[in-house]
A and B are shown apart, each in its own frame.
Chain A
Amino acid sequence: MTRDSIKNLILEIIEDIDEDADFDTLQSDQPLRDQLDLDSMDFLDIVMELRKRHKLQIPEEDYPELATLDSCVNYLEPLLVNV
């Protein structure tokens, strides 16, 4: 999966959680939680969706890797390389 595809995947999952989410001013290197109406339960939703869609089992200690859009892409790129 390309970096752009991974980015779109994350945004699509967030949109599923909150269809009112505004991505227009989203800065990819800044924490998602500071910019969107997301909390810890929403992050668990993102983890669950990645499991459902791509059978990814993300260990709890890696959750901080999902903090920003860029860090999501960096973390997921090797895991989704064959997708």
Chain B
Amino acid sequence: MNTQLPRIVITGVGLASPNADNLSSYREKLLKGISEIQEIDLRYFGKAPAGICSFNETKYRKKKENKRGTRAGCLGVYCANEALADADLSIEHYGASRVGVYVGLTEHGTVETENEVYNISQYGHNVDYWTHHHNPRTVLNNPAGEIKMNLGITGPHYAIGAACAAGNASLIQGVQMIRLGEVDMALAGGVSESTGSFGIFASFQAQGALGSADDPRKACRPFDTSRNGIVVSEGACIYVLERLESALERGATIYAEIAGYAINSDARDYVLPFYERQAECMELALERAGLAPDDIDILNTHATGTKQGDIEECKAIQKVFGKKNKPYINNTKSIIGHAMGAAGVLELAGNLLAFEDNMVHPSINCDDLDPECTLNNMVFDTPVKLDSVNTILNNSFGMVGINSVIIIKKVSAP
């Protein structure tokens, strides 16, 4: 990374995950491997395991606003406010026009469209009954826009669409916009309301990629020979990003520095991942961070629990890191499911506190490790305590062949 560029740090985190509504309880649950994946019943589709978030939906806006807006907006508004509170910042600190809101989405509008088609089906498919809320709810800047309206932010707000790499991509966007001087502070992260869409479950099912198990908490089984697909979760995670010097100046608590990142594309297939490009993406992020593979302490995998996806990622990791004693490798989806557009940022958040507690949270649900997914230092079931954790690499890949990697490092007290 060009050392002339401003150093960007994370100073606040707000999250809603299927097992927690704040960073510390989320960390506690991940260290204990506590999954709260449950069975839900979807219109037309029926029952499926899914991750549903429980949080105080009216903590930062009225029920009326939640009813008018979207679930993604509701999740986003909660997390953005929590992130600001965590950072001990008000919008006025930098000024409303100097704050940018960048929200990663795998998809948006599917839930609202399905609901509306169902609604008019009750009226003979007469489109006179189609709601005027449809367009403002389904524009892609909706979740970022709901955050912006709630907080009175007048700087830029928009969505980053990058399939399941979108959370990481938005974090990268936030870093870039601060470095360019477009904004002084970013609220960046990802949101997913996909559990409200029967079509998303049905599509994964048709693809043979929807995870299942008698116990929904065991439905997401990355690296296990019996794995049979993805568990769809809703969720959100928003970070406060600032320049390092501005954060130090105001005495902020600094979680981590975004040390390196990369995004690239497979350019081959709609759904199948490709380890060579994934490996190139990790290598590019390492190069930009000025780090060698040996420097990474924890690698948080993207692995979703699909047959081929997990194998491809393990091949990519093997190619970049070889058979060495570092990094330690874990997986957050095994515990919280796949939060789609929020996945990358939620999973990064799940590892962020390793800089404080030096622990590697475990992956769960792998009783019979697939030989094709075998890597050194995979952490299963029980957390591992390291002497120190200074760097974390987070993988996040998506459909239509998009790969993203973020590397964060610990910022020592000056």
Q: Which residues of A contact B (CB under 8 A)?
A: 17-20, 37, 41, 44-45, 48, 51-52, 57
**A37–B64 touching, CB < 8 Å:** yes
| Complex Cα spacing A30 to B62, Å | 25
Closest chain A CB from B220 CB (angstroms): 37
Q: Cβ of B62: which chain A residues have Cβ within 8 Å of it?
A: 18, 20, 37
Q: What 8 A-B pairs have minimum CB-CB distances, sorted nearest first?
A: A18-B64, A44-B132, A19-B63, A20-B62, A52-B129, A17-B64, A48-B131, A51-B128
A17 touches B67 (CB 8 A): yes
Can you report 26 A-B residue pairs in the complex whose CB atoms are below 8 A from each other?
Answer: A17-B64, A17-B67, A18-B62, A18-B63, A18-B64, A19-B63, A19-B64, A20-B62, A20-B63, A20-B64, A37-B62, A37-B64, A41-B68, A41-B132, A41-B133, A41-B136, A44-B132, A45-B132, A48-B129, A48-B131, A48-B132, A51-B128, A51-B129, A52-B123, A52-B129, A57-B128
Nearest B residue (CB) for A21: B64
CB distance from B18 to the nearest CB of A (A): 27
Residues in A neighbouring B67, C-beta threshold 8 A: 17
C-alpha spacing A14/B11, complex, angstroms: 41
Further contacts, 19 of them, CB under 8 A, given A41-B68, A51-B128, A52-B123: A17-B64, A18-B62, A18-B63, A18-B64, A19-B63, A19-B64, A20-B62, A20-B63, A37-B62, A37-B64, A41-B132, A41-B133, A44-B132, A45-B132, A48-B129, A48-B131, A51-B129, A52-B129, A57-B128
- Note all chain B residues with C-beta closer than 8 A to A18: 62-64
Instruction: Give the distance in Å from the alpha carbon of A37 to the alpha carbon of B123 in the complex.
Output: 29
Chain B residues within an 8 Å CB radius of A19: 63-64
How many angstroms between the C-alpha atoms of A51 and B129 in the bound complex? 8
Closest B residue, CB atoms, query A52:
B129
B46-81: which residues lie under 8 A (CB-CB) from chain A? 62-64, 67-68
B264: shortest Cβ distance to chain A, in Å? 42
Question: Interface size (B, Cβ < 8 Å)?
Answer: 12
Residue of B nearest to A17 (CB): B64
Interface 1/0s, chain B 237-253, versus A by CB < 8 A?
00000000000000000
Least distance between A21 CB and chain B CB atoms (Å): 8
With both beta carbons as reference points, the residue of chain B lying nearest to A48 in the complex is identified as: B131
Which residues of B lie under 8 Å from residue A52 when comparing CB positions? Answer: 123, 129
Complexed CA–CA distance, A37 and B67 (Å): 14
* B122-136 interface (Cβ within 8 A of A): 123, 128-129, 131-133, 136
| Chain B residues in 8 Å Cβ range of A17 | 64, 67
Q: Who on chain A is nearest to B62 by CB?
A: A20
Q: Given the complex of chains A and B, what is the CA–CA distance between A41 and B68 in angstroms?
A: 9
Q: Report Cα–Cα, A52/B130, bound state, in Å.
A: 11
Tell me the nearest residue of chain A to B68, going by C-beta: A41
Q: What separation, in Å, do the CA atoms of A20 and B67 have in the docked complex?
A: 12
**Assembly CA distance A19 to B64 (angstroms):** 7
Q: Tell me the bound Cα distance from A41 to B64 in angstroms.
A: 12
A18 to B65, CA, bound (A): 9
Task: Give Cα A51 to B130, complex, Å.
Answer: 11
Residues from chain B with Cβ under 8 Å of A45 in the complex: 132
Q: Distance in Å from the Cβ of B223 to the closest Cβ of chain A?
A: 47
Q: Nearest Cβ in chain B — how far from A22, in angstroms?
A: 12
Which residues of B are found within 8 Å of A41, using beta-carbon distances? 68, 132-133, 136
Cα A20 to Cα B63 in complex, Å, equals: 8
User: How far, in Å, is A2 (CB) from chain B's closest CB?
Assistant: 27
Chain A positions within 8 Å of B136 at CB level: 41
Task: Give the complex CA separation of A52 and B67 in angstroms.
Answer: 18
**Residue numbers in B under 8 Å from A51 (CB-CB):** 128-129
Cα separation A36 to B68 with both chains bound (whole Å):
16
Contacts of B64 in A (CB 8 A): 17-20, 37
Bound together, the chains give a CA A52 to CA B122 distance in angstroms of 10
- Bound Cα distance from A57 to B128, whole angstroms: 9
Shortest A11–chain B CB gap in Å is 15
Q: Give chain A residues whose Cβ lies under 8 Å from the Cβ of B123.
A: 52
Cβ < 8 Å to A, chain B residues 146-176 = none
Separation of A18 and B132 alpha carbons in the complex (Å): 17
In the bound complex, residues from chain A placing their C-beta under 8 Å from that of B131 are 48
By beta carbon, the residue of chain B nearest A47 is B132
Most buried by A among B64, B128, B131: B64
**Least CB separation from B132: chain A residue:** A44
Chain A minimum-CB-distance residue to B119: A52
Which residue of chain A lies nearest to B133 when distances are taken between CB atoms in the complex? A41
> Which residue from chain B places its CB closest to the CB of A18 in the assembled complex?
B64
Per the bound structure, the CA–CA distance linking A4 and B128 in Å amounts to 28
